[in-house]
Amino acid sequence: MGAGITGNIAVLTGAGISKESGLDTFRDADGLWSKVSLEDYATPEGFARDPVKVQAFYNERRRGMAGGNIRPNAAHEALAKLEAEWPGEVVVITQNIDDLHGRAGTKNLIHMHGELFKVRCDACKAVSERRGDVAVDEVCGECGAAGAMRPHVVWFGEMPFDMDRIYEALDACELFMSIGTSGNVYPAAGFVQHVRFKGGIHSVELNLEPSEGASQFAETVYGPATEVVPEYVERLLSGR
Ligand code: BJW
């Protein structure tokens, strides 16, 4: 149980927290990787082979998210409430590229796998906001390079963002919560081991089912995120 915890909290989230908002996970039976190949759509090599196909995939996901039907759910809202009311620091480290934590009100937020609503120029590395489609031959507004724009996301083989800040937050926390992630993808999958080895940090997994790393957590709670996350947050805030 989280009772007795008063210090900082580090929260890792994955696709499962956004599932009940209407977004696909990756590795569930109906997940994205059951529909498209991750080698083709989530690697720099796949992008180099067929940029038209990969840009179209991200354009479609961007349009879906911008459409107005995808909203933060009770789990995103509970984490924003935790940050607002908790006496210590709460940092949310999300693997998700959606904007649902931010829209729910989370401010101390790290998008370790990037953001769907941002694009990056591979030539000058400038990052810019983007709600609409990216054209394959688009010219960068910063440096003028043509055809160098890409989604500002982290593909396999690329370094996730803000790793120094993430390990600082993990080292400084008293509670590590992992929510809605299957524990298949590193380095995020290794965070629970990191806090275990450090010692003195309570860890809890909140997921629909046991993840790959479930046995490494001190506590596990299984159920839909919209139920288990608000309940767990209320317990923390009431000190139970
Ligand atoms: C619910 C729910 C509900 C459902 N309520 N729960 C061999 C060994 C070890 C590592 C490697 C290796 N070979 C290569 C690597 C490294 C590689 C890796 O991990 N590969 C593995 C496949 C083995 N990793 C990388 O390349 C990363 N970079 C890297 O390692 O750099 C070097 C480095 C070294 C040291 C330190 C730092 C860096 C980059 C990984 C990039 C991942 N990119 C993607 C795509 C992002 C863009 C996009 O979205 O299109 O990120 S892949 C995809 O997987 C996405 C996700 O963020 C990520 C994780 O998925 P997630 O969130 O866990 O989703 P699912 O679907 O797997 O799970 C959902 C869970 O929710 C399930 O458990 C459900 O049960 C649950 N759920 N409904 C609660 N309602």
d(CA 192, CA 175): 11
Q: In this structure, how many other beta carbons lie within 10 angstroms of the beta carbon of residue 143?
A: 12
Catalytic residue of the set 76, 113, 152, 202: 113
Phi, psi of 200 (to 5 degrees): 70, 15
Tell me, yes or no, if 152 is annotated catalytic: no
Return the percentage of the chain with pLDDT > 70, whole number.
99
DSSP assigned state of 111: E
pLDDT tens-digit series, residues 62-107? 999 998 899 999 999 999 999 999 999 999 999 999 999 999 999 9
Identify whether 187 is preceded by a cis peptide bond (ω within 30 of 0): yes
Question: How far, in Å, is the centroid of ligand 1 from the Cα of 144?
Answer: 33
- Which of left, alpha, beta for 181 (phi over 0: left; psi -120 to 50: alpha)? beta
The pLDDT value recorded for residue 49 is 97
Distance 141 CA to ligand 1 centre (A): 32
pLDDT tens-place string over residues 155-192: 999 999 999 999 999 999 999 999 999 999 999 999 99
Contact by Cβ (8 Å): 120, 150: yes
Atom of ligand 1 nearest to the CA of 159: 31
2 pLDDT band, cuts 50/70/90, is: low
Residue nearest to atom 53 of ligand 1 (CA): 26
62, 116, 182, 186: which to mutate for ligand 1, most atoms within 8 A of CB?
A: 186
What backbone phi and psi angles, to 5 degrees, belong to 166? -65, -50
Query: For ligand 1, which residues put their CB under 6 angstroms from it?
Result: 14-16, 19-20, 25-28, 31, 42, 95, 97, 113, 153-160, 163, 180-182, 184-187, 207-209, 211, 224-225
What pLDDT is recorded for position 240? Answer: 77
Mean pLDDT computed over 111-125: 98
What's the pLDDT at 22?
A: 96
* Ligand 1 center to 72 CA (angstroms): 21
Return the residue matching tokens 């900082």.
Answer: 8
Cα gap 20→79, rounded to integer Å: 15
DSSP-derived pairing of the beta strands 149-153 and 114-121? antiparallel
For the stretch 23-73, pLDDT in tens is 999 999 999 999 999 999 999 999 999 999 999 999 999 999 998 899 999
**Quick one: pLDDT at residue 1?**
55
Mean pLDDT of the chain: 97
Q: What is the DSSP string of 181-203?
A: --S-STTGGGHHHHHHHH-S-EE
CA of 139 to the centre of ligand 1 (A): 31
Q: Give one DSSP letter per residue of 138-168, joined into a string.
A: PBPTTT--BS-EEEEEPPTTSPPTTHHHHHH
Question: Rounded mean pLDDT of 144-151?
Answer: 97
Phi, psi for residue 10 in degrees, rounded to 5: -110, 130
SS3 content of the chain, % helix, strand, coil (to 5): 35, 20, 45
Q: Would you say residue 235 has pLDDT above 60?
A: yes
pLDDT at 3 over 90: no
